[in-house]
Amino acid sequence: MNSIKPTRYEQLIAGATSTEMILNIGPQHPSTHGVLRLEVITDGEIVREVIPHVGYLHRCFEKHAENLTYQQTIPFVDRMDYLASMNNSHAWVMGVERMLGIDKDIPKRIEYIRVLVCELNRIGSHLIALGTYGIDIGAFTPFLWCFRDREHIMNMLEWASGSRMLYNYIWVGGLFYDLPVGFEERCSEFVNYFKPKMVELNELLTGNQIFVSRTANVGILPLDVAINYGCSGPMLRASGLKWDLRRVDEYSVYPEIEFDIPTGKGEMGTIGDCWDRFKVRIDEIGQSVRIIEQCLERLQKDLKRTPDFDPRAKLPKKIIPKSQDFYIRAESPRGELGYYFITDGKTEIPKRVKARAPSFHNLSVLSEISRGILIADLIAIIGSVDIVLGELDR
Amino acid sequence: MGFEDIKALLINKFGEGIIVGEDITGLQPALIISPERIAEVCLELRDNEKTWFDQLSCLSGVDYGIEENMFGVVYHLASIPYKTQLTLKVRKYHDRSRDELPSFPTVSSVWKTADWHEREAYDLLGIGFEGHPDLRRILLPDDWEGYPLRKDYKVQEYYHGIKVD
């Protein structure tokens, strides 16, 4: 195995000509939200090749999971994608529940609360993606606006779970707490406040001539390439495919909820360019608001809070799934989030856990779509991928 | 196409020996493929009009434990047009010696996704992939010793003079 044959990386570095320059972008570049180093071979301002180096944040999630029980791992799952912790723990919990065979017994109220907080978290995550994307392109206002609105979501989720970013709120078999009294009302208030703000946000960038010039026809990702590289989420949908695991796998209570799946249309340029990826996220926020409204309606009408309702009633005493291996996938804000479990049926500790992180796949396509572009466009492309490095290295 | 149909299709195309076993105890049945021919099988499953597994959802390297001395790779395939999923596995006995890694053919020519995933499996479990164009460590530093996800992994005491704990 350890033959002397040089790898592709070594060939690329050795093959750089005297007119080319090897440039490092990162490890800490403002457009990479986390620590990422890009080794770029450039000819003047033209990018010849991009080689991403990941692994700076590697905190050994899979190694940790070898020593922790299923319940104890939930906080570690939150730390992977710290911008969408709820979605991470939802996926994890669903996988464990399905292995235990209790996924059908979860009370409806709990399921609706889960979907509610997940969608709130999705909006928060997309707001960061959009706001910081504005900064990557050179606009500062969207950043402030997005963070202002996200703060409301953070406050609400903090109120529900007691923590600002790493919630540990969704548990196997239930929730840590029921929603605090008055949460539904405050959430409705937020929705009413947020709707006009969303229109403003949309007007601010979507049709902005400078923004369109910087993003349209840049970093075009054709659909077949996206599929081959395993891209998912907004990245895949922007390339024109209607593929959303909330609809495909119909998990939790999503089948009961109405929402659309936005896809890239290429309105300003070509299908699958940076502008499309931006637009898909904007549209998805709108759809998440729709889902939240429906959840709130159900929670306030026929799934009302009752004094004897215990969100931990279904919590299993011991979580020992029977011996099997299981792959669960769910739609996180960045795409398909998967967990692969191997259990031996004897202990509460999984034998092996592998996390399939959407950012990992989405970033791997970077070198494919950024050959022959300008360095400034490379920044636009990285921003449009919406990577979270904590999830990328896990 | 169901699980049995896919099995029949593979046996029809590659012969009886292609499937060396199956795992049907859990919720998701899995086929254990003869390790040498995994790349061909994947290519067939991707391109056959009846299966069309155009996306590789996940690729995981697995160390099956110290007693068994078994290493394997698990492939989770997804078909976007048919909305189906399939699990494939390959396994190999290996005595855990450092000099030679347990190795399987790469599927990175079938799905580009596998490129980084195989590098990760190499990095963390020490599984080699024949024909991989760029087999380097991906998450850990290039000069790290050992493969952390192996069950017999002992962490090195010092790394460049820094105490590792």
Expressed as residue numbers, the domain containing B65 is 3-163
Domain total in chain B:
1
Strands A37-43 and A46-53: antiparallel
In angstroms, the Cα distances linking B23 to A235, A322, B33 are 34, 14, 11
Could you give the dihedral angle defined by the CA atoms of residues B54, B58, B61 and B62, in that order, rounded to the nearest 10 degrees?
-120
Per-position DSSP letters for A307-328, written without gaps between them: TT--TTTT--SS--PPSEEEEE
Look-up: residue for tokens 């192996």? B150
Tell me whether residues A7 and B60 touch, CB distance under 8 A: no
Q: Which residues are bridge partners to B89 per DSSP?
A: B32, B74
Tens digit of pLDDT at every position of chain A (394 positions): 455 677 888 888 888 788 888 888 878 777 677 788 888 999 888 998 898 888 888 888 888 888 888 888 888 888 888 888 899 999 999 999 888 888 888 888 888 999 999 999 999 999 988 888 888 888 888 889 999 999 999 999 999 888 888 888 888 888 888 888 888 899 999 999 999 988 888 888 888 888 888 888 888 889 999 999 989 889 899 998 888 888 888 888 889 899 999 988 888 888 888 899 999 999 999 999 999 999 999 888 888 888 888 888 778 888 888 888 889 999 999 889 999 998 888 888 888 899 998 988 888 898 888 888 998 888 888 888 888 888 888 8
Domain boundaries, chain A: 61-392
Q: Which residues of B touch A (CB under 8 A)?
A: 23, 25-28, 30, 54-58, 60, 62-63, 65, 74, 76, 80, 83, 85, 87, 100-101, 103, 111-113, 115-117, 124, 128, 133-141, 148-149
* CA B85/CA B77 separation, integer angstroms: 6
| A322 interaction partners in chain B (CB closer than 8 Å) | 25-26
Cα B140 to chain center, whole Å?
19
Q: Under a CB-based contact definition with an 8 Å cutoff, are residues A186 and A348 in contact?
A: no
Residue in B66, B73, B130, B134 to test binding to A, most A beta-carbons within 10 Å:
B134
Q: What is the CATH number of the domain that holds B45?
A: 3.30.460.80
Tell me whether residues A364 and B65 touch, CB distance under 8 A: no
- In CATH terms, the fold of domain A61-392 is Cytochrome-c3 Hydrogenase; chain B (1.10.645)
Nearest CA in chain A to B63: A352
**DSSP code for A124:** H
**Omega before residue A27 within 30° of 0, cis:** yes
| A229 interaction partners in chain B (CB closer than 8 Å) | 111-113
**DSSP code for A237:** H
Taking the CB of residue A57, how many other CB atoms lie within 10 A of it? 18
* CA A208/CA A381 separation, integer angstroms: 18
Here the tokens at position A221 are: 């990702």
Q: Which amino acid is at A304?
A: K
Here the tokens at position B86 are: 């399939």
CB-facing half-sphere around the CA of B98: CA atoms within 13 A: 4
Cα A275 to chain center, whole Å?
18
| A91 interaction partners in chain B (CB closer than 8 Å) | none
Query: Rounded to a whole number, what is the distance in Å from the CA of A285 to chain B's nearest CA?
Result: 24
Tell me whether residues B54 and A361 touch, CB distance under 8 A: no
Here the tokens at position B18 are: 């292609």
| B76 interaction partners in chain A (CB closer than 8 Å) | 327, 338, 340, 356
